[in-house]
Amino acid sequence: MTSLVDGALDAGRIELVLDYAGALAVHEHWLEDLAASRAADLGPVIADMGGRNLVSISDGRVDPAKVDDIDAWLMPYKGTARTLLWRRATARSPTPIPPRSAAPSSPSTTATASASRASPTPPTDLHHPP
C-alpha cells in the first residue's frame, strides 16, 4: 500500500484510500483492517492479519482458531538459533553491524549510534533482520 509505504499510520492518507475504494466499489477485507488501523489499539488488526497470513501460508489447511500462538507458528525461529548466528556474524565482521533499531547518525545522535554499533544487540524478529 503506497499510503503506508513510509510505515506511518496517517489518518488522512488512510481516509483517502478508503474514499477511493468506496468510489470504485471495492470492498475487500484488508480495507476493513486499514480502517481499523486508525484506532489506538492495533491488537485486533494485528491478530486479524496474523490469522489471515496463517490461512494464506498454509493454503487454508490450518485453522487460526486452533493455534494458540499465531506469531510463534509464523515465526518459529524468533529469538533462537537465528540470534546466535547473528551474534557470530557480527563478531566476525570487519565493520560493526548496527542493530536495526540504531538511530541514523545526526549531530545529536552520533554518540548513541556509535555506541550501538560498538555493542549491538541481536535482532528478535525474523522479519526484520539487522
- 69-113 pLDDT, tens per residue? 888 888 776 666 667 776 777 777 776 666 665 445 544 444 444
Q: Which three cell numbers stand for residue 61?
A: 489447511
pLDDT in tens, 30-79: 899 888 888 888 888 888 888 998 999 899 998 989 998 888 888 776 66
Q: Extract long-range pairs of 88-95: CB within 8 Å, 24+ residues apart.
A: 90/120, 90/122, 90/130
For the chain, strand residue ranges (E) read none
